[in-house]
Structure 1
Amino acid sequence: MSEISATDVLLDGFGRVEQTVAELLDGLTPDQLAHRVHGAGNSIGWLVWHLTRVQDDHVADLAGTSQVWTEGWSKRFGLPLPEEDTGYGHDSGQVASVETTAELLLGYHQAVHARTADYLRSVKPADLAEVVDEAWDPPVTRAVRLVSVLEDDLQHAGQAAFVRGLLT
């Protein structure tokens, strides 16, 4: 049996997010994507956009590359938000402003996933222990940042699955 590396585990985790996002979005209309429980919760569209924006932002920062979002996706979405916005701290009006299609969300998520997977394949085991953010106590390593993004993705995907379940 071959050894499983931390990178293999991360690739599997982010692959599960991609699979979940594809299942979540399958067959949904723009109205269903925009549905907000009791008119105030986060919509499926916003949740998927947000989890993808955070992954894009954080992985690009770790990789030292541009974000997929800034390479044409922000223009395709045409949202009334600053290009650097990831959805963190959005109020109800900002959540409502994320109106889109399942195809657009899936395309963006798949592009971010591909960039994430390419990055992860380039990471050496020693790189995972490197401190990337000293603003926290304890300081955040590359591995901790990646697990944090993965955990955030899974939580938001679960929230979106809950909302989808209410629709059907």
Structure 2
Amino acid sequence: MKSSDLLLDAFARVQETVHEAVEGLSEEELAVRPDADANSVAWLVWHLARIQDDHVADAFGTAQLWSADGWAERFGLPFPEADTGYGHDRAQVAAVRAPAELLLAYYDAVHARTVAHVGSVTAAELGRVVDTRWDPPVTLGVRLVSVLTDDNQHAGQAAYVRGLVERR
């Protein structure tokens, strides 16, 4: 098995979890938060897609789909275009509202772009430095594992919140 095959499988599993967490929920259900400081399914999926879009675009030297493909306008969120959700307070989390179709369309576009980039990565390329702001510098392999870890945590949280919504 090639390194890229392993990464592609991992990203495909995230996609399955995201779809399971979102499909069939109304915009109101996607916005439900277990308490005032918790995240909604909508915020969690939007945020994980934004982080993946931001980090993968940076690692491969491409534009973020959020800006380049007009997703920022379609969502119409009250944040700067570069915002990924990192550090959001309760009011900002509450502001992320979108229908399931829009959330999944953006996530799927980011997933497709990720798959296109990752599918051609060789084991040697995983050692390429993509971020020198850290000590040690971050390699492509470390960045992709970081994105996958963040995606898995947020997708799992979204699935958990969905379970709470369904029990209401």
Q: Give the counterpart letter for 1:99 in structure 2.
A: R
Provide TM-score, normalisation by structure 2.
0.95
Cα pair 2:126 2:139 within 8 Å, conserved: yes
* Structure 2 residue identity aligned to 1:127: E
Q: How does 1:19-98 map to 2 (within 5 A)?
A: 19-70=16-67, 71-98=69-96
Q: Is the CA contact 2:53–2:65 (under 8 Å) kept in the aligned structure 1? A: yes
Mapping of residues 3-18 of structure 1, within 5 Å: 4-18=1-15
Give the RMSD, CA atoms, in angstroms.
0.9
Which residue in the other structure is 1:162 paired with? 160
Q: CA deviation at 1:124?
A: 2.5
What is the CA deviation profile of residues 62-107 of structure 1, one whole-angstrom value per residue up to 9, with x for unaligned ones?
1111111111111111111111100001111111110111100000
Task: Kindly tell me the number of residue pairs found equivalent between the two proteins.
Answer: 165
Find the counterpart in structure 1 of residue 137 from structure 2.
Answer: 139
TM-score w.r.t. the length of structure 1 is 0.95
Structure 1 residues 122-131 or 70-79, which shifts more? 122-131
The amino acid across from 2:7 in the alignment is L
Residue identity opposite 1:139 in structure 2: P
2:91 counterpart letter in structure 1: G
Task: Give 1:34 shift.
Answer: 0.5
Which runs of no fewer than 5 residues in structure 1 stay unpaired? none
Q: Distance in 1 between matches of 2:146 and 2:50?
A: 14
Conserved? CA contact 2:36–2:90, under 8 Å? no
Within 2, Cα distance between the matches of 1:38 and 1:67?
32
3-state SS of the aligned residue for 2:157?
helix
SS in 1 for 2:78: coil
Return structure 1 stretches of 4+ with deviation > 3 angstroms. Answer: none
Deviation by residue 1:32-75 (Cα, 9 ceiling, x = unmatched): 11111123201100000000000000000111111111111111
- Residue deviations 1:130-153, cap 9 Å, x none? 122222232211000000000000
Aligned to 1:130: 128
Contact 2:131 2:137 in 1 (8 A): yes
In 2, the alpha carbon distance for the partners of 1:10 and 1:121 equals 8
